[in-house]
Amino acid sequence: MKKILLLSLLSIAFTLNAQININIGSTNVGTAPVSSFFSYSYVQQIYPKQELNATAAGNITGLTFYVDPSATINDSSDWTVYVGHTTKTTFASGTDWIPAAQLTQVFAGTVTKTNNKVEVTFATPFAYNNTDNLVIAARENSQSIDINNFDEAFRVYPHIPYSTLYYKGDRMVVDPATPPGGIRADYKSSVTISGLTPKPGPSCPFVNYPANNAQFVSLLPNIRWLAVSGADSYKVSLGTSPGGTDVINQQAVTGVNFTPSTALNRDTNYYLKVSAVSAGLESSGCADIVFKTIPPIPANDACSGALSASVFPYTYTQSDAVSATNNNGFITTCSDPMNDGTWFKFTGDGGQFTVKIAMPAGSAYDPQMDIYSGACNSLACIVAMDNGGGGAAETYTFTTTAGTEYFINVGAYEDTVDMPEDVFTLTITKL
């Protein structure tokens, strides 16, 4: 008899533990898993495997969503629910819906709010593979709406940008095979996923900055990550080899950002690991984030180190300008001041020359190009070129004086803020 009782208690405990709670204490509301404020809605949400933090693959038997205590959903209760697997982490656009063919319908019917929850029990369990990310999609089919204080009724929490895609409107029930264009959101439903068993420790945080394989990271980066549900602190490690801790070893942090106390080395690969801690248990299996710091200060950072052009056409791509300093401050020789960027020079021969700077495709960098004559300690302004916006080229053609030395400074156009420089290509052509 005692054996039977013990087995029964163990079975009950296992059943209660076979659920994953994700940010169920949030008090924010949003358009997920459905909209209560519009007649019809269709919402897809992506829950990454890393966030689910399940011990193994398993059968999902149901979902529980959380409703604001003051809200009603009487006229937003006709639901069809789908789940599926995806390799996506975010939605690329408002039409980047996960195809209906990748989803499995697990529920259709009327839901109710009970104890500020909506519990959806699957008609057939869904076999989650614990390899891919999980998609939760829901369609609300009733024509009426609920008028609530906050418009929407369901609790959501902020997460990876564009991890939710929703449509809401009053025209028609949405066909998941051909959904209209929607809106991406930076939040997801607070949810309990029944049937999966969580790992003993919290999930690994999602690192917002620096991104994996990021280049040109500053020497004192503000490392940032998303909060993990249930975490009371975090640990940060940083090294110069995979899994390394030679720079920072398990530094305890109570917030969701951290800046090293000592500047990192230039032009160096670093391996960052952030783990979460909850009630003494640390998340396991967190992957390294690899990034590379900014290069050394360029040789032509100051006027005295200007690169000399003697053969034309002359072309130079400045890939290390991000490390340029502002030296003694802003350059005010021309009436339109600018950042002290990187420098070039050439000697005139009495003929015409064209100087052009161009940015790589997709660049938003907005530089200014100033051209001077004279010497570094006594520059005279020829022209200040800042006609274009971000990514636009700047070009200037002028007649030189034989034997006169000309200096070109390419830097950010701001005249009161020291802004980082970026990649550009300088071309000097003799006409």
| Domains assigned to the chain | 17-194 (2.60.120), 207-293 (2.60.40.10), 303-430 (2.60.120.380)
Does the pLDDT of residue 17 top 90, yes or no?
Answer: no
Cβ-proximal residues to 305 (8 Å cutoff; 6+ apart), any chain: 299, 343
pLDDT in tens, 323-365: 999 998 899 999 999 999 999 999 999 999 999 999 999 999 9
pLDDT at 176 over 70: yes
As a whole-number percent, the residues of the chain with pLDDT over 70 amount to 96
Could you tell me the pTM of the whole model? 0.80
- Overall average pLDDT of the 414-430 stretch: 94
SS3 sequence, 134-185?
Answer: EEEEEEECCCCCCCCCCCCCEEEEECCCCCEEEEEECCCCCCCCCCCCCEEE
- Tell me the pLDDT tens digit for each residue of 37-90: 888 999 999 999 999 999 999 999 999 999 999 998 988 999 999 999 999 999
